[in-house]
Every structure is written in C-alpha cells, then in structure tokens.
C-alpha cells in the first residue's frame, strides 16, 4: 500500500472479524514501527500484546469497573478538564457521526452505553496493544510515543489490518497492570484494537472531517 493512501484512508475501526492475526504479522508490524524517531534515540516505547483468554479477562475487568460506576483513574489527563471551541464542536460532530451511522438516537441511553462498553473488548478485535512508558520520562518522550503509535497504525494497514487507538483502555491502568503483572513505574498511555476489519459493519460507513491545510498553517518568508 502506498504510504499516502495508508495515511489518508486510515480510520478508527470499531468492528472486527473473528479472525486471528498471526503472531509473525504482529511482530513484523512492531518491527516496522520501531524505526520511529525519538529524542537522543531513547526509544521509550514499551508494548504489551494481549490476545486470547488474557484479552477476554482484561476486557471483562475493565467493563466491570465502568459498570460498577468506578471513576476513571488514568495515569494522566488525556482530555482537558475545561473544553472550549473549536474542540467542543469537533467532539460533538465526532460522536454524532458515529451514532448516526449506527442508527442510535441521542436519547437512547442504554444502546449508547452498550456501544461504549464495546471499547473495553476492543470492538471484537483479536489483538489489544497496550502502550507503556517509564514514569521517569518527560513530555518529549510522550511525543516520541505518538510517532511510534502512528507507525504501528500505518504498518498494520500494509498487512491488510485496521486499528482503533483507544484512550478508553487506559481509564483503569491499575487494573491492567495487575492482570499483566506490570509495575506501577510503567505508565499506560493508551491501548489499540488490532485486527481484520468488518468493512460491512455500519460503524465503518462514516468518516470524520479534517480541517483544510490553510486553517491550521501559517507560512512565513
């Protein structure tokens, strides 16, 4: 797949086929991603690949936290505590596009809740990737992690795979660390669903908009 096509056509996939991803393909995707740049070649990325029974156990544990009304306790604030325009409008448009594609009305609280709970099982993907970073590292290394995670998503497309980066999988990091026996010194950035997309699912039939280049670029000469 040509690289610009991989970038432009990538989307957060929320429906996957019940089809396993070969271990060697996962390894090759990560082998490609490891060539991401990082400050002083620090290579801060650490990845947990979760499949099978462990993935099912992890998803059930996270879903139970949400169902029991436990307050999310992320290792960091992904979203701002106070939000303003243009971010409010973009957030609303994103949610509206998804739920409209699924045919879920705004006042259908229970169906919306059920859709949200699919997050914790990676929307049926056979693989969950969890991205960790050492707590001693600073914001520059978190930027490096973003470049690595993007490499994962683009490399995956080269193997006919799709992904969904998920902040929701980082809502209860202590639960994940406990199940996977990962020390508290490793901070969870996000998770990612990885698998073969169900392209016929209604959730795949929409795209979020992007601002044109001139709206976010200033040129100087």
CATH code of the domain covering residue 89 = 3.40.109.10
Tell me the C-alpha distance between 184 and 164, whole Å. 25
- Domain-embedded: residue 197: yes
Are 152 and 192 in contact, with CB atoms under 8 Å apart? yes
Mean pLDDT of the chain: 96
For residue 128, count other CB atoms closer than 10 A to its CB: 24
Residue 169 lies in a domain: yes
Domain-located, residue 215 = no
% of the chain at pLDDT higher than 70 = 100
State which residues form the domain around 190: 3-207
Band (67; pLDDT cuts 50, 70, 90): very high
The answer to whether the predicted template modeling score (pTM) of the entire model surpasses 0.75 is yes
**Is 127 inside any structural domain?**
yes
How much is the pLDDT for 55?
98
C-alpha 16/C-alpha 166 separation (Å) is 15
Which alpha helices (DSSP H) does 68-172 contain, by range?
Answer: 87-102, 109-117, 139-157
Handedness of CA 188, 28, 126, 22 (dihedral sign): negative
Domain count, the chain: 1
For 12, the token pair is: 């957060």
Pair 155, 129: CB distance under 8 Å: no
Confidence of residue 153 (pLDDT cuts 50, 70, 90): very high
Spatial CB neighbours of 27, under 8 Å, sequence gap ≥ 6: none
- Structural domain contains residue 69: yes
Residue 172, H or E segment: none
Please provide the size of the chain in residues. Answer: 221
Asked if residue 128 lies in contact with residue 169, where contact means CB atoms within 8 angstroms, the answer is: yes
Q: What is the pLDDT of residue 173?
A: 98
Model pLDDT for residues 4-14, shown as the tens digit of each residue: 999 999 999 99
- Residue 1 pLDDT more than 90? no
In a domain, 218, yes or no: no
pLDDT at 39 over 90: yes
Is 214 inside any structural domain? Answer: no
Residue 166 has what pLDDT?
A: 98
């Amino acid at each position: 797949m040509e690289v610009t096509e991989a970038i432009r056509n990538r989307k957060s996939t929320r429906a996957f086929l019940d089809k396993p991803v070969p271990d060697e393909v996962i390894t090759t995707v990560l082998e490609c991603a490891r060539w991401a740049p990082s400050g002083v070649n620090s290579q801060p990325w650490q990845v947990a690949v979760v499949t099978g029974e462990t993935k099912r156990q992890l998803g059930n544990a996270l879903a139970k936290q949400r169902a029991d009304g436990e307050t999310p306790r992320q290792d960091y604030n992904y979203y701002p505590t106070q939000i303003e325009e243009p971010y409010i409008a973009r957030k609303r448009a994103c949610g509206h596009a998804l739920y409209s594609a699924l045919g879920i009305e705004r006042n259908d609280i229970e169906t919306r809740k059920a859709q949200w709970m699919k997050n914790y099982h990676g929307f049926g993907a056979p693989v969950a990737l969890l991205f960790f970073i050492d707590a001693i590292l600073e914001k520059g290394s978190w930027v490096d992690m973003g470049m690595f995670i993007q490499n994962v998503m683009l490399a995956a497309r080269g193997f006919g795979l799709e992904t969904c980066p998920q902040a929701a999988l980082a809502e209860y990091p202590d639960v994940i660390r406990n199940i996977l026996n990962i020390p508290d010194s490793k901070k969870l950035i996000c998770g990612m669903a990885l698998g073969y997309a169900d392209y016929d699912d209604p959730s795949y039939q929409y795209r979020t908009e992007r601002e044109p280049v001139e709206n976010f670029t200033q040129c100087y000469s």
